[in-house]
A = this chain, B = another copy of it.
Amino acid sequence: MTQPGSRSAETRRRLLEAAGEVFAEEGFRGATIQQICGRAAANIAAVHYHFGDKERLYTAVVDYADECARAHAAATEAPAASGAKPQVRLRAHVESFLTRLLDRGRPAWHAKLMAREMIDPTAVLDRLVRERMRANHENLATIVRELLGPDAAADTVRLCVLSIVGQCVFYRHSAAVITRLYPDLVPAKEIARIADHVTRFSLAAIRGLRTARNGSNGSGTKA
């Protein structure tokens, strides 16, 4: 026998999954509570009971996708110890980030939903930036600062962080182009190899920028 409590939790989860799919397909504005209830085989009262309104349902869906991604990433990798060398922490950071972006265990609607937030941001993006992405960038900035040396300009640190994040996000955002250009490259199956490349590319870049700043090799790096 199913307990009333667990049946209610099950309805909530079903609504979240259905809403994720519908929001991903139609966007926040286009999606209707009716569609979502139809797909979840739930009634509108259940949406009101669990979430209140469409906006709060949407917020809950994004949080749910975010938690799933983090839970999966946490289960699949051992993070580098914070006392480890910055090279090692960079590798761990890049692989963890790529896993969250590309993981094939996640439903396709997770990535689609975030891509829609990039096109038509809602208040949810403000919160995600504040609560999640800022920490991701700051963590990376700490590593980059150590690699660049103590007298690196804040702007150089920032641009290097953006170069690293950009290399990773590209495999998610431009997946449709990558699969058309390189059908044999399946990023979700090659996370470790891509993480290796992004780490080596970025470490070599940062080392080169550091050397150029120290004046021992400035001429060749200015295009």
Task: Name A's B-contacting residues (CB within 8 A).
Answer: 26-27, 30, 87-88, 90-91, 112, 115-119, 121, 125-126, 129, 133-134, 137, 156, 158-160, 162-163, 165-171, 173-178, 180-182, 185, 194, 196-209, 211-212, 220-223
Contacts and interface: CB of A to CB of B under 8 A. Distances in A.
A197 B160 CA distance: 8
Nearest to A202: B205
A163 to B, nearest CB: 5
Contact of A88 (B181, B198, B223): B223
| Total copies of the chain | 2
Given A26-B30, A129-B181, A167-B167, 4 more contacts: A158-B185, A167-B170, A200-B209, A204-B205
A158 B111 CA distance: 24
A137 to B, nearest CB: 6
A117 B176 contact: yes
Contacts of A220: 87, 203, 207
Contacts of A207: 204, 208, 220
B87 A176 contact: no
A163 B167 contact: yes
Nearest to A195: B223
A116 B119 CA distance: 8
B115 A176 contact: no
A34 B171 CA distance: 37
Task: Among A90, A205, A222, find the residue whose CB has the most chain B CB atoms closer than 10 A.
Answer: A205
Nearest to A126: B180
A111 to B, nearest CB: 9
A110 B180 CA distance: 21
A160 B129 contact: no
A118 B121 contact: no
A159 B162 CA distance: 18
